[in-house]
């Protein structure tokens, strides 16, 4: 008789222990889901920074450039790509004009992106890939290049030349 009386109580005790463990497992599952899901949600909802560059890069004293003699200068620029900051080497062809103004061209030919150079004898920029020729002001003389050389934004601060964004002709007109 005693055994029969204890059976319902034991069953109730097992049920309450099972309920406790089930609640604990559900709570643990919810905590793990929150720990994994919230950072993933923040990752998905935060817009990545794509291709943002340092605004202005200091190139050097303006008076180190001779008027009418294009000079290729190398510099490093930081670019933020999503959550990564990448330091990239770049170059520009800097042309100081007789009036003291300055223009800086992107280093790639506007046809298919080859590196061009200044030809002292011809007094022209020459692309060796498909023979495009550009004047000292970046305009096209001949060849397949479809537009003038791209230009960096420039400014002079305290006698130092600074380069900004590289712009195509259409961006400059906009």
> Rounded distance, CA 125 to CA 121, Å?
10
Using the rule CB under 6 A, is 111 a contact of ligand FES?
yes
Using the rule CB under 6 A, is 143 a contact of ligand FES?
yes
Using the rule CB under 6 A, is 117 a contact of ligand FES?
no
CA 28 to chain centre: 41
Using the rule CB under 6 A, is 102 a contact of ligand FES?
no
Q: Which stretch binds ligand FES (CB under 6 A): 73-81, 123-131, 146-154, 157-165?
A: 123-131
φ and ψ at residue 105, rounded to 5 degrees:
-100, 145
Residue 128 corresponds to which tokens in the numbers above? 């060796």
Using the rule CB under 6 A, is 103 a contact of ligand FES?
no
Render the burial of 66-96: b for 16+ CB within 10 Å, e for the rest: eeeebeebeeeeebeeeeeeeeeebebbbbb
Using the rule CB under 6 A, is 133 a contact of ligand FES?
no
Closer to ligand FES at the Cβ: 132 or 154? 132
Give the interface with ligand FES as residue ranges (CB under 6 A): 109, 111-112, 114, 127, 129-130, 132, 143-145
């Amino acid at each position: 008789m005693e055994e029969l009386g204890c059976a319902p109580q034991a069953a109730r005790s097992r049920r309450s222990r099972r309920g406790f463990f089930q609640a604990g497992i559900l709570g643990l599952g919810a905590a793990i889901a929150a720990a994994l899901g919230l950072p993933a949600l923040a990752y998905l909802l935060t817009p990545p920074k794509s291709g943002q560059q340092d605004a202005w890069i200091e190139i050097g004293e303006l008076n180190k450039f001779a008027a009418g003699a294009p000079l290729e200068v190398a510099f490093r620029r930081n670019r933020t790509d999503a959550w990564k900051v990448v330091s990239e080497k770049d170059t520009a062809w800097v042309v100081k004009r007789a009036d003291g103004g300055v223009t800086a061209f992107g280093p790639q030919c506007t046809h298919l992106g080859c590196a061009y150079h200044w030809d002292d004898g011809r007094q022209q920029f020459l692309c060796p890939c498909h023979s495009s020729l550009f004047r000292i002001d970046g305009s096209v003389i001949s060849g397949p290049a479809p537009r003038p050389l791209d230009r960096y934004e420039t400014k002079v601060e305290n006698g130092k030349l600074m380069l900004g964004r590289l712009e195509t002709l259409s961006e400059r007109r906009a």
